[in-house]
Amino acid sequence: FKNSSSHSYLPTIPKVFLGTQTIIDNYEVFTTFVKPKEILELAYVPRRMPTGGDIKGSYQRVLKDSKVSQISTFLNERGSFFPNSVVCAVVGDKCKFISEITDEHSSIGKIELPNSYGCLWVIDGQHRIFGSAKSTSTKPINVTIIQGMNSFQQANMFTTINQKASSVDPDLLWDLFGELGSIDPPPKEGN
């Protein structure tokens, strides 16, 4: 339904969430917590598929079922959640924001998401969204939505987030494994 002229809008009222709005380098940035199933139909993942097709504007990796299942299992445990944001860009329609409190940096208020299929392009966190939705838990996920990014800017942010991340040093993993008694996944033998 994403590109359908007659069926692109959801047959429900728009979803409204409490959150913040900040302007950063001419982008409107919204942050909120949502239940994953509430935004799943709004989410679109611009994946570069190995079998071809139109990949213009696509930058995401293929979804790994094993990672989705691992996240789903993790979230079913008490005290397990992801404090870091899933990062999305709103494409096509715009988010509406009703400000209630404002300071010099941000506003607190209500975010009304566009009511159309695939309007939130997932820049980072596709596995967290699908793993959270698959989980029997109803824990909300932290979502940052950026308004005003084209697909090139989204791809640039995707590569910056995923290329610049530092892996955890194997020595630190072994130290934590010894202190905590276990970590998941455990350090690899030979490290």
Measured in whole angstroms, the distance separating CA 184 from the mean position of its chain's CA atoms is 22
User: For 167-178, how does the pLDDT look when each residue is reduced to its tens digit (9 = 90+)?
Assistant: 666 666 556 556
pLDDT digits (tens, 9 = 90+) for 126-161: 888 888 888 888 899 999 999 988 888 888 887 887
What are the pLDDT digits (tens) for 63-103?
A: 788 888 998 999 988 888 988 899 999 987 788 999 999 99
Q: Name the CA radius of gyration of the chain, rounded.
A: 18
Higher-confidence residue of 81 and 9: namely 81
Q: What element of type H or E holds 70?
A: helix 65-75
What type of residue is 37?
Answer: K
Amino acid at 110: K
Rounded CA separation 52/136 (Å): 34
